[in-house]
Amino acid sequence: PREKNFDGTYLYQFNGVWYRHKFLYGMISTRRHFPARDSDIIVSTFPKSGTTWLKALTYAIVHRSRCAFEHSPLLTTNPHELVPFFEISYYLNKNDIPSFEHLYTPRIFGTHIPYSTLPDSIVNSNCRIVYICRNPLDQFISHWYFLLKQAHDKESETLSLEESFEKVCNGVLEAGPFWEHVLGYWKASLDNSHKILFLKYEDLKEDTHSYVKKLAEFLGCPFSNVEEKERVIEEIVKLCSFENMKDLEVNKPSRNIPGIKAKNSDFFRKGEVGDWTNHLTPSMSERLKILMEEKFSGSGLAFKLS
């Protein structure tokens, strides 16, 4: 089955999950061919939930000893290039298997693949997964603007906010239904807390410093020297902050990454919690809140909304 996405392109359903064409092709190929290494780190996310930010933070933490922060590759390269989505890499290579030779060890990859569909080599190896999601009201607004921007660039026929909202409530959005994706990683993280770290955008925003510390510990590279610890963490927080990253030359609208349709600047819009209050009517937000309560009931999972 296929359904219209917010930007007028199509989403395709596979095993109950909605994919954009590239990601579907790439997911199938990744499942067949991706040989995970025990040292690999997978940044897995629901789209528009802080992928760019978590990729940057993970890269900055893991590769911090490679060079001084003032020369960090994050200052001149977009996080999606330093931490590639393996779906996109497999899609772009078509019949060849990408070598990923250019990546430093530990290799860091991004993905939107649901937990239940991850390649066996990821689930069965010792590689670690960091997952981030975001309250579905902000996620929807962020997603809508993101696709709208690209649709304008291509002049394709877009869905209205109301039509797109209807799709979301029916689970029809990239990587959706939202609930299944989030609950899949949430439950897996409860069963396997040394393999999967489950994060929420709102928490990361509220106390980035503590989460950088937590991430480093989880990834097996804690900050050891007490004196240095706070300074280095602050450097990482600052380097990866929305304010810093959005103004970098590499993240200006004229730049983009091969294989990714969006411009680098499209990944940086507002970077706030609660922007949904400026866009959703009371009945829309109420509907999503009720759905959220129903779907997450008994799971122990909840989101801060502002």
Where on the chain is the footprint of ligand A3P (CB under 6 A)? 45, 47-53, 138, 142, 145, 240-242, 245, 267-271, 275
Question: Considering beta carbons, is residue 101 or 243 the nearer one to ligand A3P?
Answer: 243
Question: Considering beta carbons, is residue 5 or 142 the nearer one to ligand A3P?
Answer: 142
Question: Considering beta carbons, is residue 177 or 271 the nearer one to ligand A3P?
Answer: 271
CA distances 5 to 144, 190, 240, 298, 305, Å, are 10, 32, 30, 31, 25
Rounded Cα–Cα distance for residues 233 and 212 (Å) = 7
Rounded Cα–Cα distance for residues 73 and 59 (Å) = 9
Rounded Cα–Cα distance for residues 179 and 165 (Å) = 15
Question: Nearest distance from residue 269's CB to ligand A3P, in Å?
Answer: 3
Catalytic residue among 112, 181, 194, 209: 112
The Cα angle at residue 51 between residues 47 and 56, in degrees rounded to 5: 165
Question: Nearest distance from residue 144's CB to ligand A3P, in Å?
Answer: 9
Rounded Cα–Cα distance for residues 6 and 139 (Å) = 13
- Dihedral over Cα of 230, 216, 178, 287: its sign: negative
Rounded Cα–Cα distance for residues 76 and 64 (Å) = 15
Question: Considering beta carbons, is residue 53 or 131 the nearer one to ligand A3P?
Answer: 53
Question: Nearest distance from residue 241's CB to ligand A3P, in Å?
Answer: 6
Mark whether 112 is an active-site residue.
yes
Q: Which residues are catalytic?
A: 112
